[in-house]
Amino acid sequence: MESEGNGEKKMSSKPKKGSNIIPLTGAAALLTLAVSLAITAINNRRNSKKKDLRGCNFRVNLSASEILKLADRIIAKSKEVHDAVASVPLDKVTYKNVISPLAELEAQQFPLAQSCVVPKLVSTSDKVRKASAEAEKKIDAHSSSCSKREDVYLVVKAFAAKGEWMGPEARHYVHCLIRDFERNGLNLTATKREEVQRLRAQIDELSFQYVQNLNDDSTYLLFRENELAGVPTEFLKTLEEVENGTFKVTSKSHHVAAVLELCKIGKTRRLVAMAYGKRCANVNLSIMEDLVQVRHKFARLLGYSHYADYALNLRMAKTSSKVLEFLEDLSSSLSNLANKELAVLKELKKQEEGELPFGVEDLLYYVKKVEQQDFDVDFGALKQYFPVNLVLSGIFKIFQDLFGLRFEEIVDADVWHSDVQVFSVFDLSSGELLGYFYLDMYTREGKYGQTCMVSLQNGSVEFSGTRQIPVALLISQLQKDICGISSLLRFSEVVSLFHEFGHVVQHLCNRASFARLSGLRVDPDFVEIPAQVLENWCYESFSLKLISGFHQVIHLDKICMCPEYI
C-alpha cells in the first residue's frame, strides 16, 4: 500500500436498505432528491446484471490463505521479470526489453498487492487482517530487495546512457528508476552499499512495526455521562456502554476529535489528549529512538548531513536549512497575532474553568468557543443542517459539475461489507469510463480508524496502448444512522470528506502513462494541493446550499419516483 495515509449529473447517495427517510431542505431540495433517487433506481436496474468491474484487477474478499498465496505469486512474478531484465546484455538494451517490462509489471502488480494489503484496513475478520499484515510485510521486503538489485540498475542505467529517444514522461520515469536505485546506495562502493542496504532493511522493519502498533492500538478510557458534558446525545449513543454506567472512549480519531472539540470538562479533555498522544508509547518510543539513529547513519552513508536532508532532496525545498528559514520567517510574522489570539483563549478558559493552565487539550474546544461568540454560531445546532446523505449527495453534484463527470452506482458489486458502495465514473461528454471508487464510510470494529483515500489501482498505459483505469477507496469513520434518524456531521467532518473526495477525483482524472507517476504518486510537494484547494468549496455559499439543509424525517412513499422528472 502506498503510504508516503473516483458521474449521473444528479446523484444522491443511496438510502440505507430498509430505511424510509431522507434529509430535506425544502421544496426545491425535495424535488432534487426525488430526481436523484429516481436516477439511482434506474441506474440500479440498468446495472443489475453487472458483477465484475471491467478493467479492475483489485480483488475483494480473499480468504487469509488466498491472500498469502497471492502474495507469493506476486513475488514470484516480480522476480521472473526482474531476472529477465537483468539478463539483457548491456549493448542490447532497448525501451521494449528493459523499461516497458518494469513499467507494466508495476502497473499490473500494484492492484494485486493492494488486494493483499487493504484487508488489514477494512476486513471484519481478525484472521484475514493478520494475514494481510503478514502479506504486506513479505511484499514490502521483496520490493525493497528489488530496489537493491545491482544487475537491474546497471541495465537501466545502460539504457539511459544509450540516449534512445523518449517522450518527457518516459524520460522522467527512467530518471525515477535510477534515482530510487541510487537512493539505496547502488552507486557506492561495495562495502558502503552493503551497509546502506543493511540499514535500509532495519528502517523498513522498524517503520513497519511502528505503524502496525498504531493500527492495532485498542486504547480506551471510561467516563461517566457527567464527565462527557457538552458532547451531543447522539454521539453518546454511539459509544459502547460498559459496567457501572460508564462509556468507552477509544483513541480513534473520530472519538478523540469529538471530545476535544465539544466536551466541557477540562479534565476529560486532558485525559483523552494525553491518552491519544501516548498511544503505544511503551513499545513505539524505543522503536522511534532506534529509527532516528538508524536513519541518521543511513543518510550519512549516502552523503547527506542528516536524514532530513535525505528526505527533502526529493522536495522543492531540497535542504532542511531552507525549511527552517521558512518556518522562522513565518513564526516571526505571526507571533504577535498568535499571542493575541492565545490570550483570548486563555481568558475564555479562565472565565469557564477558573485559574487552570491552558494546555494543548484546550485548543480545539476554546477555538470553537471563540467562533461561536464572534460569529453567533451554535455548532450543536449547525450539525442539524448536515445529514450525511445530503452532504454526500451535494459533494457528488459539485464534483460532477466541476469536472464534467458522471457517477453511477454499481449495486451488486462484490464488496467486503454491506455498508460499502461502489461507483463507476464516466466522462460526461464522451461517456468514457474513467475508473471506479469504493466508499466505506461507517465505523465498525477492526476497521482502520482514520479518514483517508487509498489507491487500489493506478492508471497507466501499456506498451500496446491499452489503458488501465484507476480505482480508489475512500475510508471514513462516520456514525451509522441511529433509530432511523440520518447521521449528522460536524462541519469539520464535512470538510474532511471534501478533502478526501478531492484525492479521489485527483486519482481518477489522472492521465499519466506510468503507474509510478499516477494517482497519489505525484511529486510529494504537490500530492495534497488538489484536495486542499477543493476543500475550500465547503465555504462557498452555493456549495453550502447543495450540501446542507435542515434535517427532517419524511416517508419515501410521498416522493414521486417517476422517470419523467429526469
CB 471 within 8 A of CB 437: yes
| 554 plus 478 within the same structural domain | yes
Quote the pLDDT of residue 269: 96
Quote the pLDDT of residue 91: 95
The model's pTM is 0.78
CA 220 to chain centre: 24
pLDDT digits (tens, 9 = 90+) for 440-471: 999 888 898 888 999 999 999 988 889 999 99
Name the active-site residue from 261, 493, 500, 535.
500
Under the banding of pLDDT at 50, 70 and 90, the label for residue 483 is low
* Residue at a domain's end among 253, 279, 305: 279
Q: Is the pLDDT of residue 400 over 70?
A: yes
Task: Give the lowest-confidence range in 6-15, 186-195, 356-365, 370-379.
Answer: 6-15
Q: Is the pLDDT of residue 2 over 80?
A: no
Q: Is the pLDDT of residue 420 over 50?
A: yes
* Residue at a domain's end among 233, 261, 279: 279
- 67 vs 251, which has greater pLDDT? 67
| 396 plus 490 within the same structural domain | yes
Quote the pLDDT of residue 419: 93
For residue 456, the surrounding DSSP H or E stretch is strand 452-457
Mean pLDDT for 469-496 is 84
DSSP letter (8 states) at residue 218: -
- Answer yes or no: is 22 within a domain: no
Rounded CA-CA distance 88/90 in Å is 6
Q: How many domains does the chain have?
A: 3
| 549 plus 435 within the same structural domain | yes
Q: Is the pLDDT of residue 4 over 80?
A: no
Q: Is the pLDDT of residue 352 over 70?
A: yes
CA nearest to 150, candidates 190, 119, 186, 125: 186
Q: Is the pLDDT of residue 111 over 70?
A: yes
| 96 plus 44 within the same structural domain | no
Under the banding of pLDDT at 50, 70 and 90, the label for residue 495 is very high
| 417 plus 505 within the same structural domain | yes
The three cell numbers of residue 422 are: 461502489
Helix (H, G, I), strand (E, B) or coil at 423: strand
Mean pLDDT for 372-380 is 80
Return the amino acid letter for 148: K
Quote the pLDDT of residue 40: 47
Quote the pLDDT of residue 52: 72
Quote the pLDDT of residue 426: 97
Rounded CA-CA distance 356/363 in Å is 14
| 391 plus 539 within the same structural domain | yes
CA nearest to 262, candidates 291, 234, 294: 234
| 429 plus 509 within the same structural domain | yes
Under the banding of pLDDT at 50, 70 and 90, the label for residue 492 is confident
- Answer yes or no: is 513 within a domain: yes
Return the amino acid letter for 71: A
What mean pLDDT value characterizes the chain? Answer: 86
Q: Is the pLDDT of residue 95 over 90?
A: yes
| 38 plus 84 within the same structural domain | no
- Answer yes or no: is 329 within a domain: no
CB 477 within 8 A of CB 451: yes
| 475: containing domain | 27-56+385-565
- Answer yes or no: is 413 within a domain: yes
Quote the pLDDT of residue 486: 66
| 35 plus 152 within the same structural domain | no
Sole residue written with cell 426525488: 34
| 422 plus 544 within the same structural domain | yes
Per-residue H/E/C for 313-373 = CCCCCCCHHHHHHHHHHHHHHHHHHHHHHHHHHHHHHHHHHCCCCCCHHHHHHHHHHHHHH
- Answer yes or no: is 304 within a domain: no
Under the banding of pLDDT at 50, 70 and 90, the label for residue 1 is very low
Q: Is the pLDDT of residue 560 over 70?
A: no
Q: Is the pLDDT of residue 37 over 50?
A: no
Q: Is the pLDDT of residue 562 over 50?
A: no
The answer to whether residue 500 is catalytic is yes
Rounded CA-CA distance 180/516 in Å is 12
Sole residue written with cell 451488486: 412
Q: Is the pLDDT of residue 228 over 80?
A: yes
Longest dimension (CA), the chain: 79
Quote the pLDDT of residue 469: 96
| 242 plus 142 within the same structural domain | no
Rounded CA-CA distance 71/74 in Å is 5
For residue 425, the surrounding DSSP H or E stretch is strand 421-427
Here the CATH number for the domain that contains residue 394 is 3.40.390.10
Under the banding of pLDDT at 50, 70 and 90, the label for residue 482 is low
pLDDT digits (tens, 9 = 90+) for 13-23: 333 333 332 23
Q: Is the pLDDT of residue 133 over 60?
A: yes
Under the banding of pLDDT at 50, 70 and 90, the label for residue 485 is low
Sole residue written with cell 499571542: 339
Sheet hosting strand 240-241, strand order edge to edge: 220-224, 246-250, 240-241
| 141 plus 271 within the same structural domain | no
The three cell numbers of residue 325 are: 528559514
Mean pLDDT for 133-146 is 93
pLDDT digits (tens, 9 = 90+) for 497-523: 999 999 999 999 999 999 999 988 888
Under the banding of pLDDT at 50, 70 and 90, the label for residue 165 is confident
Here the CATH number for the domain that contains residue 142 is 1.20.1050.40
Question: Could you give the C-alpha distances from 285 to 216, 282, 295, in angstroms and in order?
Answer: 16, 6, 15
Q: Whole-angstrom distance between the N-terminal and C-terminal Cα of the chain?
A: 41
Q: What share of the chain is helix, strand, coil (3-state, %, to 5)?
A: 55, 10, 35
* Residue at a domain's end among 279, 301, 324: 279
CA nearest to 312, candidates 532, 304, 204: 304
Sheet hosting strand 452-457, strand order edge to edge: 405-409, 421-427, 433-442, 471-478, 452-457
